[in-house]
Homo-oligomer: A and B are copies of this chain.
Amino acid sequence: MLTERQRMILNAIIDDYIRSAEPVGSRSISKRSGIGYSPATIRNEMADLEELGFLEQPHTSAGRVPSTKGYRYYVDHLVKLGEMNEQELNQIRIHLADKMNQMEQVIQHAAMILSSLSNYTSIVLGPEMLSHKLKHFQLVPLNEDTAVAIIVTNTGHVENRTFTIPNGMSMSEMEKVTRILNAKLAGVPMARLRSRLYTEAGQEMGRYVSHCEQLLESLDKALESDNDHRVFVSGTTNMLTQPEFKDVDKVKTLLDLFDETPTLMKLVSSLPDGIHVRIGSENDHQAINNCSLITATYSLDGKPLGTIGILGPTRMEYGKVITLLDVLSKDMTLLLAKWYK
């Protein structure tokens, strides 16, 4: 579809633009080492590339700027994957290794590592809680009428809810309930916890404990708000240093998006296994139409668990970021495999 020379020129233009954020002219490409053509030749090729939709011109008499299609071609065929230097690799390893024995922490640190190494904004999606299994259940009474229900999953995640104790329930009964629930529900996936609560544990408890129904109801209600707050965003202010965000209104739109967890989750979670790049207008959400989102998945037992992603301007250092995501997602996968060996 493109001649070798066109590919070379397109590549040069995009590299230039990524560095400078300014429309690229024929002269500056011509002067590059490795390109043996005069500005006039470059101009002709540029005109062709524009006709084909790979480049755009902000206005006549300005240089060219890559279009979404241009970036797409660049990412699919031209980009040179970056190499990570020792220092960066170490930074990843150290951060991930450092007493990281809880999934929660791994996820959070991943977000930090990504944003600090890339200087863009990172969005990290933790694994779906629903697939985790109940490890331990505990009721802790705080005073006469309230108690905390604590749930520990096999991944080390601890969830807790406060709820109201049914009138007239005694301490010893609470302990009994804790015992029964643990016996009956250990190993049950979180997704089925609420239904099992009634079927398995319900009748057993009914025999030994008074006010059983009220308690179950309270518990059920406490469990229903499954605020699966598994999205971590880091490095939001990195975006503000990008010239494409020198306008406060754009900044606000973007930051407001970061606060909207559900939308953010939809944005990141929709992709299947592996590394994916969504460029500019390829993104659904209006607020990031001049951004690119690169995502990778980490997995356990071959099944993708969650997603790590980097959001930057379309004019993003694709090579570097892709490598970074690749390395980190693999490291995370390894770490999880070791941890759940």
Contact = CB atoms under 8 A, between A and B. Distances in A.
A136 B148 CA distance: 10
Q: How many copies does the complex hold?
A: 2
Nearest to A145: B101
Main secondary structure of the interface of A (DSSP, over half): mixed
A160 interface: yes
Contact of A255 (B135, B148, B236, B256): B236
Contacts of A256: 237
A31 interface: no
Interface in A5-39: none
A3 to B, nearest CB: 42
Interface string A154-169: 1010101010100000
Contacts of A266: none
A141 to B, nearest CB: 8
Interface string A135-156: 1101010110010101010101
**Chain A interface category by residue count:** 20 to 34
Interface string A206-250: 000000000000000000000000000000110011000111100
Contact of A252 (B136, B150, B237, B247): B237
Interface string A250-269: 01100110010000000000
A102 interface: yes
Given A152-B148, A152-B150, A156-B142, A162 B237 contact: no
B255 A248 contact: no
A107 B301 CA distance: 40
Interface of A: 101-102, 105, 135-136, 138, 140, 142-143, 146, 148, 150, 152, 154, 156, 158, 160, 162, 164, 236-237, 240-241, 245-248, 251-252, 255-256, 259, 340
